[in-house]
Amino acid sequence: MVAGTHGNEINGPWLLDQWRQHPNFVDSKGLDVQLAIGNPAACAQGRRYLDRDLNRSFRSDLLERASTVPAEADREMLQALALLQQFGPEGQTPCDLVVDLHSTTSAMGNCLVVYGRRPVDLALAALVQHRLGLPIYLHEADAAQQGFLAERWPCGLVIEVGPVPQNVRRSDIVLQTRLALEALMAAITSVRDGTARYPDQVVIHRHLGSLDVPRRRSGDPDALVHPNLQGRDWQPLKAGDPLFINAESKAAVFEGEDGLIPVFINEAAYAEKAIALSFTKREAWPLPKDWKEALANLLG
């Protein structure tokens, strides 16, 4: 269980800290859980990261280079290696599964993030979705965004909760995180004792791409997220819907396919990544038997 992978997302770390002090604060269903702060140095400074985004640092080529020439590695690269040495599949206290707790400034409520299409991740996410009805954001095939922590463990999910500003603690955000975490651990327990009840299908929001705010040649933003779009994460768009508005009240409109669904609208952390929102497509996938078997084999 990792929190504080981003040092300015402080609700997850508070939850872990309280869980350590009060073991009954979170119902772990008897699972053997290791708690870790992802990026303690960034947390101490209230910054997302020091040298580079830790949650984009788990690319095998980067990890290999950092372990070969540690003297030249960024601090986050060394931290990524340290986490793997401690908790990775070959680590000192190896974990089969990682849950990474994040928060967003976007009005997305609770969701699960899955990276790629590993059967074990999708089967587990489907069980949690069946319990809580959470949306699942499937992040894949984005060359600009790779190297996520959750991908380095045999099974890995992110719990994303919002909206909450960076460096602000809120009881409702902690509660939402705890409920998602408990549902996830209950799902794991149900797989282990053979009582898992899977839905017929898993509903995913598949990442298609991202859009930046319009910019001048200097790189400065030339428009704002349109007020009709702000806070409307998960609500389908139609061609012609306004996305951005400039100082002359002129709107830039959505020109994509009807029904695409925006997420991470105006996420504070993504401004530096030149992302004003991402587009997803809602799809319902059947749950093949071998996905469930793969999860049972991993957790059994």
Residues forming contacts to Zn ion in the complex (CB under 5 A) are: 6, 9, 102
Which residues are within 8 A (CB) of 77 and not within 5 positions of it... i.e. 6 or more apart? 51, 52, 57, 62, 63, 65, 66
Give min distance, CB of 48 to Zn ion, in A.
Answer: 7
Give min distance, CB of 162 to Zn ion, in A.
Answer: 10
Give min distance, CB of 192 to Zn ion, in A.
Answer: 29
Cβ–Cβ < 8 Å for 182, 99: no
Give min distance, CB of 12 to Zn ion, in A.
Answer: 9
Give min distance, CB of 299 to Zn ion, in A.
Answer: 26
* Dihedral angle sign, alpha carbons of residues 165, 232, 142, 60: positive
| Rounded Cα–Cα distance for residues 43 and 50 (Å) | 10
For Zn ion, give the closer residue by CB, 12 or 130. Answer: 12
For Zn ion, give the closer residue by CB, 153 or 244. Answer: 153
Q: How many residues are there in the chain?
A: 300
For Zn ion, give the closer residue by CB, 65 or 273. Answer: 273
Which residues are within 8 A (CB) of 279 and not within 5 positions of it... i.e. 6 or more apart? 207, 208, 209, 210, 211, 237, 256, 260, 261, 262, 263
> Which of helix, strand or coil describes residue 8?
coil
Burial annotation 162-176 (CB, 10 A radius, 16+ → b, else e): bbbebeeebeebbeb
| Rounded Cα–Cα distance for residues 154 and 298 (Å) | 8
For Zn ion, give the closer residue by CB, 9 or 121. Answer: 9
For Zn ion, give the closer residue by CB, 9 or 241. Answer: 9
For Zn ion, give the closer residue by CB, 130 or 207. Answer: 207
Give min distance, CB of 4 to Zn ion, in A.
Answer: 9
| Rounded Cα–Cα distance for residues 125 and 214 (Å) | 35
| Rounded Cα–Cα distance for residues 140 and 150 (Å) | 13
Query: Which residue in the shown chain puts its C-beta closest to Zn ion?
Result: 102
